[in-house]
């Protein structure tokens, strides 16, 4: 008697699998829109992890655990690639994600290199989350591109919260921006990376 074949369901070619994109909130939608424009025939699954946003005030262990959990969910959706559309998640957890899954995993990093190239004063400011500011991988990135410029790192606690809540024009947001930008401007920074 022959055994039933469990794989009677036709398998979907890898080219038809979706691409997973995630961020701790809505900021990664700009990256998702760019991917959709460049690859109009691709199916994209976007996760805005608002329940755990922002990642910038979480510990590296919390970020790693959450990113791996999202990676597991994407894996269950049979994605062919994962785009980590979050600087903090990229800096903290992309290597762990790459160790776990053997599909392309693409991250985003602050645009330090083009900022250094464009700066006329050779002074560049970086507005980052607290988690990113303290991350070893991020510090290595800064060191790699900052050999010809002074790079000032400005952690911005609370800023992502206000932006994600749609309060970017609020008085509170304006006060935070003034607080974070004034020292950079006073230091002679002519290029700022968010």
Rg (CA), the chain: 20
pTM exceeds 0.85 = no
The model's pLDDT over 67-107, given as tens digits with 9 standing for 90+, comes to: 999 999 999 999 999 999 998 899 889 999 999 999 999 99
Give all domains of the chain, ordered by start, each with its CATH number: 14-107 (3.40.50.1860), 112-193 (3.40.50.1860)
CB-neighbour burial class of residue 79 (10 A; exposed 0-12, middle 13-18, buried 19+): buried
What is the average per-residue pLDDT within 149-159?
A: 92
């Amino acid at each position: 008697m022959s055994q039933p074949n469990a794989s009677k369901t036709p398998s979907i070619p890898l080219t038809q699998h979706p691409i997973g994109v995630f961020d701790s909130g809505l900021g990664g939608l700009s990256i998702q829109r760019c991917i959709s424009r460049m690859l109009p025939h691709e199916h994209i699954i976007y996760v805005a992890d608002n329940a755990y946003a922002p990642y910038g005030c979480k510990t590296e262990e919390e970020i790693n655990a959450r990113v791996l959990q999202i990676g597991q969910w994407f894996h269950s959706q049979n994605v062919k690639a994962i785009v980590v559309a979050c600087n903090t998640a990229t800096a903290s957890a992309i290597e762990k994600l790459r160790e776990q899954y053997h599909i392309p995993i693409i991250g985003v990093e602050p645009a330090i290199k083009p900022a250094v190239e464009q700066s006329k004063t050779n002074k560049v400011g970086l507005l980052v989350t607290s988690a990113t500011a303290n991350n070893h991988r991020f510090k290595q990135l800064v060191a790699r591109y900052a050999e010809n410029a002074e790079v000032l790192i400005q952690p911005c606690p609370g800023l992502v919260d206000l932006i994600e809540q749609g309060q970017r024009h609020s008085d509170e947001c304006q006060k935070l921006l003034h607080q974070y930008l004034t020292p950079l401007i006073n230091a002679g920074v002519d290029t700022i990376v968010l």
